[in-house]
Amino acid sequence: MRIVDIRERSVAISRYADPAIPSGGLTTSMVTIVTDVVREGRPVVGYGFGSIGRFAQGGLIRERFAPRLLAAADGALADAAGTNFDPFRAWSVMMAGEKPGGHGERCVAVGTLDMALWDAAAKIAGLPLHRFSADRLGRGDSVPDRVQVYAGGGYLYPADDLARLAEEMRRLADLGYTRAKIKIGAAGLVQDLRRIETAAAQLAGPGNLAVDAMNVYEGPAALAAAAALAPLGLWWFEDVCDPHDFPTQTAVAAAYPGPIAAGEALFSAAEARLLALHGGLRPDRDILLFDPVHCYGLPGTLRIIEVMTAAGWPRQAFWPHGGHLFTLHVVAALGLGGAEVNPLSFQPFGGFEDGAIVSDGFASLPQRPGIGFEGRAELHRLFRDLA
C-alpha cells in the first residue's frame, strides 16, 4: 500500500465574498495524494488544503514532507490489517528527523498533507471522515447527528464599511446562522463600537456576536479595548494580543469578565502547555480556537487536547478555527464545542457542501465517504485539475 503521487498548488484566497476587494495577498496550499488503492476502477485520491489565515506552504510540502511519504517502504503507511492507510503512521513518517520547535510554518505543511491522508483513508473505508476518525479513536458511539456552528467573517471593508457589514450579517442570518464573528482593531475603538452595534442588530443582540482583534493590541491598548467592550455582553473577545504575550493576555483576563478566546495562532502541544500555564485564561468560560490543520493535523490536535484537558479544560471549550468541512468532521468526531464556518469568505474552501442547510445555528454532518469535497462543485473541480 503506497502513495504514488503528491501534487501541490498555491492558490489565492479572499477574506471577502467579493474577491475583487484587496485581501493582502493571502494564499493557501491545496494538495492531492494519489494512492495505489483502486475503487470503482480509479485510484483513491485524498484532497487537502492548508486551512485559512496563514500562507501557502508549497516549498516545505514539495521539498521536505511529500518526498518522505513517496519514499516510504511498502507497508510503512498501512494500518495493522494492511487494508488501509494509517494517518498516524504516515504522520510519523513525515516528522522523521524533525527537531523540536519551528512550529510557525512547518506545522501547516504537515497539516495540509495530513488532511489529504485522512480523506483518502476514509474514502478507502467507505465512511465519512467523522465516522472513520471517531471509530479509529474509539469514540464511535459518541458522534452527534449535527454540530453547533457560527459564521466567521466581518472583515473591515475599504469603503461603505457599516452598510456592507450590515448586509453581510443579514445574509448570514438568512442562511441559518444565529451567531457570527467580526473583526475589530484595525479602525480604532470608535469605529469598532459602531461595527459591533451594526452587526449585533442583525443577530438578536451582542450576546450572539464574537469579535476578533487578530492579535493587534499591545499592553494599555488591550486593556482600553477590554474596558470598552466589557459592558456589551459579547459572546467572546478573541485574539486580544500577540499569541505569546501572556502578561497582556493575563491582565485582560483579570479585567474582562466575559469570555476570551485564544489559541488560533498557537500550533503545538508545547505552546498549548505555555498557554495553560501562563495565559491567565479561565476554563470555566473561555474558548480555545486551535486550528486542526495548522496544528500538525489531527495527530497534533489530539496532543493539544490532551494537554488542555489535563489542565482542566472541558472539550466543549474547543471551537476550532478553520471554517470548512474538515473542521466540522473533527468537531463531531472529537466531541468538541462547535465549529467556525466561512460561508461567504475564503471561497471555494470555506463553508460546507453545496446546498447544505444550517438551521438554528446547527449543521448536519456530510455523509459522503471522506471529507466530502466532492460535494463542493467548484472546489472539487480545482482538486481534479490538480490531480
CATH number belonging to domain 140-386? 3.20.20.120
Report the C-alpha dihedral over residues 64, 65, 67, 71, rounded to 10 degrees: 130
Cβ burial 247-272 (10 Å sphere, 16+ → b, else e): ebbebbbeebebbbbbbbbbbbbebb
Collapsing DSSP to helix, strand or coil, 30 comes out as strand
pLDDT of residue 74: 87
3-126 has which fold? Enolase-like; domain 1 (3.30.390)
HSE value, Cβ hemisphere, 13 Å, CA-based, for 36: 11
Q: Where are the domains of the chain?
A: 3-126, 140-386
Q: How many degrees, rounded to 5, is the angle at CA 262 between CA 195 and CA 351?
A: 65
Nearest to 200 by CA among 192, 138, 21: 192
Q: What residues are annotated to the active site?
A: 183, 321
pLDDT at position 102 is 87
Q: pTM score, two decimals?
A: 0.97
The amino acid that residue 248 corresponds to is T
The tens digit of pLDDT for each residue in 98-138 reads 999 989 899 999 999 999 999 999 999 999 999 999 999 99
Q: What DSSP assignment string belongs to 114-147?
A: HHHHHHHHHHHHTSBHHHHHHHHTT-GGG--SEE
Q: Which residues of the chain have pLDDT under 50?
A: none
Q: Which of these, 10, 100, 13, lies nearest to 344 by C-alpha position?
A: 13
Res 285: pLDDT = 98
